[in-house]
Structure 1
Amino acid sequence: MKNLDKTDRAILAAVRQDGRIPIAKLAERIGLSETPCARRLKQLENAGYIEGYRAVLSRKALDIGVIAFAQIRFNIHDRALSDRFEREILAIERIVSCHNISGSADYLLQIAVRDLDEYGAFMRDVMRTLPGVTSVESMLSLREIKADAGFPLL
């Protein structure tokens, strides 16, 4: 499935917005009957356009008061060290996302914690002890303007 048609895009847009949408409602929304709609959805899943479904958890209900972005720098650029760093990052739940980036830093992390005290302790006890880390520059989110809504349908 290289070329997505209008119907495929409509299905992807609908399930991106609501992963639990019933097939009947999805079919009605995009103008197909249920069986062809279910078949098209299954084809999109099998072709890898849909990697999975998940719930969007409430930041407020979970008492997550601080979202921070941290730029991580290494002085030594060694593949084995980077691999160890990345393996350890994967196991840390407070790190919401991690990107290997270009520019003055090596990695950009998004971190979720309850408050500034917890963030300070997390920096001291976790981030600064990770393999390869020589500097961390933090930026705190003051207000979220747009949340992750999934990838755009280009």
Structure 2
Amino acid sequence: FEARVMADDAVQQCWRVSPGPDFVLVVAARDMPAYGALVQRLFTADANVRNVKAFFSLKRAKFEPRVPLTPLAPAG
């Protein structure tokens, strides 16, 4: 699954996570038919994929991908 996801151009990010789902994917699809094809390609055709949850972004409230250059103060 991981190799297939990494090779798919629609997948922008793939995170292996625990606990909970095994993977979190960030994907881009131009429309719902393209998304349906992606689902078929990556999930439906794979007998090892048992459960898929999809979340769609409606609005980006904040996006700051920067990393602080100074250490954060310890919680106290």
| TM superposition score category, shorter chain reference | 0.7 to 0.9
CA contact (8 A) 2:11 2:26 kept: yes
Task: Read off the aligned partner of 1:142 and give its amino acid letter.
Answer: L
TM-score, L = length of structure 1: 0.39
For the residues of structure 2 that align with 1:141 and 1:105, how far apart are their CA atoms? Answer: 19
Structure 1 stretches (4+) deviating beyond 4 angstroms? none
SS in structure 1 of the partner of residue 24 of structure 2: strand
- Aligned identity (percent) is 28
1:1-154 to structure 2, matched below 5 A, reads 85-130=1-46, 132-147=48-63, 149=65, 151-154=66-69
Q: Which has the higher strand share?
A: 1
Instruction: State the aligned residue count.
Output: 69
Question: Could you say which structure has the greater relative contact order, defined with CA pairs below 8 angstroms and 6 or more residues apart?
Answer: 1
Unaligned ranges ≥5, structure 1:
1-84
Query: Could you list the per-position Cα deviations for residues 61-116 of structure 1 after superposition, in whole angstroms to 9, with x for gaps in the alignment?
Result: xxxxxxxxxxxxxxxxxxxxxxxx21111101101101111122111001100112
Larger radius of gyration: 1
Q: Which has the higher helix share?
A: 1
For the residues of structure 2 that align with 1:117 and 1:148, how far apart are their CA atoms? Answer: 31
